[in-house]
Structure 1
């Protein structure tokens, strides 16, 4: 399993943990509920191939609720202990949460799938939902370029 200090490599424009495939995030819908002005709800599905992992990241200030549909995922937020979740399990990430580990923990041939609802300021996704996913390494690159 990966650790927060796992070696990162860049393949084209994509950062990944060395030797591990990245997740595939697909937006299912974006809602703009009138009872929470200035906020958007992004609903998506995330597939993680066997041995898949996501580098440490944040979610642009979003509140996140996720539910595992199939497979097994390991998540570690902030300085908390890792949590393993299976089909039907739900977790919450508060705004500002630092997602230090996210990986398929199902073993050799199992793809993991989970759904996520992210509630975020409209301005964060004005230029696209990609702004919800802020990898630590990308943030550091931007800061060092300034």
Structure 2
């Protein structure tokens, strides 16, 4: 498991059918569990999602539509690299945070077991007015347009 910082431009992303993925690695599975519109956060929405990562899976570099995210790992270990920061390992019971505008360079399960985490996103209603696709924007999708 490499804890060396890797620039997003060095991660080889390929398109398989309609799906972008890190070459040779399966993608994560994201499921929305619940959405909320809290009265004390006008214009914002809270989205609770579950992310499953099979062994050796990886997410291509991406952003989250300006969302602030708090995530708790519920199974396994996840490697994350945000922006220009050093990669970190987050294991079961531990929490990581992504600030609004964060560039999520690496999100990987580099183990032989499954990893899972629950993410709570706080996002502008405007970002998701036409659907939830804008809470996970791949670099490869932006550059292919």
User: What TM-score range do you get, normalising by the shorter chain?
Assistant: over 0.9
Task: Return 1-10 or 122-131, whichever deviates more.
Answer: 1-10
The DSSP-based 3-state class of the residue aligned with 2:141 is helix
Deviations 1:16-66 (A, max 9, x none): 011100000000001000100000000000000100000000000000000
What TM-score do the two structures reach when normalised by structure 1?
Answer: 0.92
What TM-score do the two structures reach when normalised by structure 2?
Answer: 0.93
Task: Structure 1: state its 5+ residue gaps.
Answer: none
* Alpha-carbon shift at residue 6 of structure 1 (Å): 2.0
Query: Which residue number in structure 2 is paired with residue 67 of structure 1?
Result: 72
Query: Which residue number in structure 2 is paired with residue 39 of structure 1?
Result: 44
Please give the residue correspondences for 1:74-89 in structure 2 after superposition, counting only pairs within 5 Å: 74-89=79-94
Count, aligned residues:
140
Moved over 2 A (4+): 1-4
Alignment pair present for 1:125 and 2:128: yes
- Aligned counterparts of 2:61 and 2:11: Cα–Cα separation in 1: 9
